[in-house]
Amino acid sequence: MIVVLTGAPGAGKGTQADLLAAKEGFRKVSTGDALRKHVRMKSPIGLQAEAVMARGELVSDEILFEILREELGPDSGERILLDGYPRNVAQAKTLDSLKETHPVVAAIHLDVDAGELVNRLSGRRVCGNCGATYHVTLTPSKTAGVCDKCGGLLQQRADDREDSVRTRLSVYESTTKPVLEYYRGKGLYQRVDGLGSTEEVFGKLKGSLSGVKFR
Ligand code: AP5
């Protein structure tokens, strides 16, 4: 069973999906994390995707379907939080084609205004070793530039540079936002206000998920 966690770049999807996985027993599936893993491994997918991602554009639907099937695995009755997919209506329809094994039971939109998104993305730092995410002022590590969890070095993501951020926000507006309407039409859409501290947003998300019927 899949809960789609959607929202603009920087809305906090990854942060909240990690918390829900750690505290509420969901399995997080992030297409962005999976693609970054392929890039690090220099796999054929990674070699094709790297430059596209750095520019802030979308990787092809064909590659994403391969990633999706690889990451979802067989049906095991798990509650999966899907972060970063679907990003266009064609991908939403592709996901529906897997409904026998992986039905979508809710689509939660983490809603954050554009000014806050730019602030969150420009200050984001990610551990090059374990992938933990921080923000230089909003959620800083204890020692600047060093991961609290593993001592790895914190880095800026290639697609968090100003020109790539502009592209990602524009792709979100033109291509991903229609997905919200798609799920509204199916009666699965829920909006959650993504402003507030990480803990406050987590509380709102939990409230929203408590109303979801997991079959
Ligand atoms: P992906 O990794 O999915 O990136 P994204 O959607 O742009 O989302 P982000 O990871 O940037 O943001 P987030 O919402 O997870 O925010 P976070 O929690 O980190 O995709 C990357 C690329 O891969 C795409 O551009 C595309 O090229 C490709 N791709 C992936 N999926 C694809 C698909 N389906 N089709 C085609 N291409 C695909 O938070 C951001 C910052 O804010 C952090 O610093 C965090 O610490 C901070 N923060 C979070 N919450 C709060 C809070 N409540 N208060 C204060 N600070 C906060």
Domain hosting 25: range is 2-113+172-209
CA of 130 to the centre of ligand 1 (A): 16
**104-111 and 189-193 strand pairing:** parallel
* pLDDT values of the chain reduced to their tens digit, one per residue, 215 residues: 999 999 999 999 999 999 999 999 999 999 999 999 999 999 999 999 999 999 999 999 999 999 999 999 987 789 999 999 999 999 999 999 999 999 999 999 999 999 999 999 999 999 999 999 999 999 999 999 999 999 999 999 999 998 999 999 999 999 999 999 999 999 999 999 999 999 999 999 999 999 998 87
Residue 125, in any domain of the structure? no
Q: Which two tokens stand for residue 187?
A: 């009666």
User: What is the reported pLDDT for 215?
Assistant: 72
CA of 120 to the centre of ligand 1 (A): 10
CA quadruple 159, 150, 133, 29: dihedral, nearest 10: 90
User: What is the reported pLDDT for 75?
Assistant: 76
Residue 214, in any domain of the structure? no
Residue 158, in any domain of the structure? no
CA of 9 to the centre of ligand 1 (A): 5
Is there an atom of ligand 1 within 6 Å of 87 CB? Answer: yes
CATH of the domain at 31: 3.40.50.300
Evaluate whether 55 touches 87 at the Cβ level (below 8 Å). Answer: no
Is there an atom of ligand 1 within 6 Å of 202 CB? Answer: no
**Cα Rg for the chain, rounded, in angstroms?**
16
Residue 144, in any domain of the structure? no
Is there an atom of ligand 1 within 6 Å of 9 CB? Answer: yes
- Residues 78 and 2: their CA atoms lie apart, in Å, by 8
Q: Which two tokens stand for residue 120?
A: 């969150």
4 φ/ψ sector (left φ>0, alpha ψ -120 to 50, else beta): beta
Residue 200, in any domain of the structure? yes
CA quadruple 122, 51, 57, 59: dihedral, nearest 10: -130
Residue 167, in any domain of the structure? no
User: What is the reported pLDDT for 106?
Assistant: 98
Is there an atom of ligand 1 within 6 Å of 120 CB? Answer: yes
User: What is the reported pLDDT for 146?
Assistant: 98
Catalytic residues: 13, 87, 124, 157, 168
Q: How many domains does the chain have?
A: 1
User: What is the reported pLDDT for 201?
Assistant: 98
